[in-house]
Amino acid sequence: MKKRLILLTRAACLLTSGTAAAGPDGAEHDASSFWISPITDEIFARIQGKSFKDDCTLPREDLRYLHLLHMDLNGETHEGEMIVNYHIAEDVLDIFRKLYDAKYPIEKIRLVDEYDADDEASMEDNNSSSFNFRFISHTTNVSKHGRGLAVDINTLYNPYTKVVDGERIVEPVTGEPYLDREADFPYKIDHDDLCFKLFTEHGFEWGGDWEDRKDYQHFEIPTDLINEWYPSNG
């Protein structure tokens, strides 16, 4: 899996190197394209103290800004913004390009900072996003979203759920109607879904496959690969 991911990343670099010249300032004339940028001062000002919290242990240099396009259920094109780890930037851009080409419906792709980095608010708005720094509860380990190594898609319709002390938790709370994965509704991610196929082809794991909890919106890089990339803070 590791070799495959690296190969795909290198191939994507070659493919996009000729078209990714425009930076974030070129958004007006480059709105129709998919591109990657470092976290410029302008972008950093939007995330500092929000998703890039004051105690953020991830270097700013490890993050990349993605500008992309996505299509809604009505077939209308929208611009999207996402911040991910540089290790997966080319892979994620490639996935979103293929989703767009296939007219795969995604309602919103906004920085979680537009919701003051409040995950629940972002999920209730069906927003798709990646980077939001946080430690795993009661540890000094950084979560996968905290490293920009996990991506959530169409979050309202693909909620997270777990039973804790006999009580079912659903995030977002408004996602409860979509816990029935046999029901038919838009944006549903399952094993036949193109989003599932593309992310897993690029080496991601799907939270819908977990046994002790379900996170239908969530795709992440496997822990063993992350431990190779970040050996000191597994």
Chain residues binding Zn ion by CB under 5 A are 150, 152, 218
Smaller CB distance to Zn ion: residue 20 or 56?
A: 56
Number of residue whose CB is nearest Zn ion: 218
Contact 206, 218 (CB under 8 A): yes
For the CB of residue 204, give the shortest distance to Zn ion in the complex, in Å: 11
For the CB of residue 216, give the shortest distance to Zn ion in the complex, in Å: 10
Contact 70, 96 (CB under 8 A): yes
For the CB of residue 109, give the shortest distance to Zn ion in the complex, in Å: 14
**Residue 90 φ/ψ region, left for φ over 0, alpha for ψ in the -120 to 50 degree band, beta for the rest:** alpha
Cα–Cα nearest to 111, from 27, 51, 69, 44: 51
For the CB of residue 122, give the shortest distance to Zn ion in the complex, in Å: 11
Smaller CB distance to Zn ion: residue 14 or 164?
A: 164
Smaller CB distance to Zn ion: residue 152 or 193?
A: 152
For the CB of residue 150, give the shortest distance to Zn ion in the complex, in Å: 5
User: Position of tokens 């046999």?
Assistant: 182
Smaller CB distance to Zn ion: residue 97 or 218?
A: 218
Smaller CB distance to Zn ion: residue 104 or 160?
A: 160
